Amino acid sequence: MAQDHEYEVRVRWGETADELNDALDLADDYRAKMHAAYRSRDNILRQFDKLYRYHRETENGCACGKTKCETLAVINADWISDLIARVHERDVN
């Protein structure tokens, strides 16, 4: 009877350890995907920042020379400007 109990405990302990390892592997996969997504987002924001150097608002329209520059309209969106500013702040710190 005690041996049966010991056997059952060992089986369940093994199953629990397997489930834990599976959960940890899954968490590592999600963490890697999350970091990749953040890197992609930062790369895109850096590209927007490069575009901003050539397309910024002037008295006559855009620095590129166009009066109604479509690129400037995209880059000047408040939410993009805010995200670019956050990337700069994080890079400084």
Q: What is the percent of the chain with per-residue pLDDT over 90, rounded to a whole number? A: 31
Read off the DSSP letter of residue 65. S
Query: How does DSSP assign 28-44, residue by residue?
Result: HHHHHHHHHHHHHHHHH
Per-residue pLDDT, averaged over 64-76, amounts to 87
pLDDT at 57: 86
Per-residue pLDDT, averaged over 69-84, amounts to 86
CA end-to-end distance (rounded Å), the chain: 63
pLDDT at 77: 86
Q: pLDDT tens-digit profile of 9-54?
A: 999 999 999 999 999 999 999 999 999 999 998 898 888 888 888 8
Total number of domains in the chain? 1
What domain range includes position 46? Answer: 2-92
Rounded-to-integer distance, Cα 15 and Cα 61, Å: 67
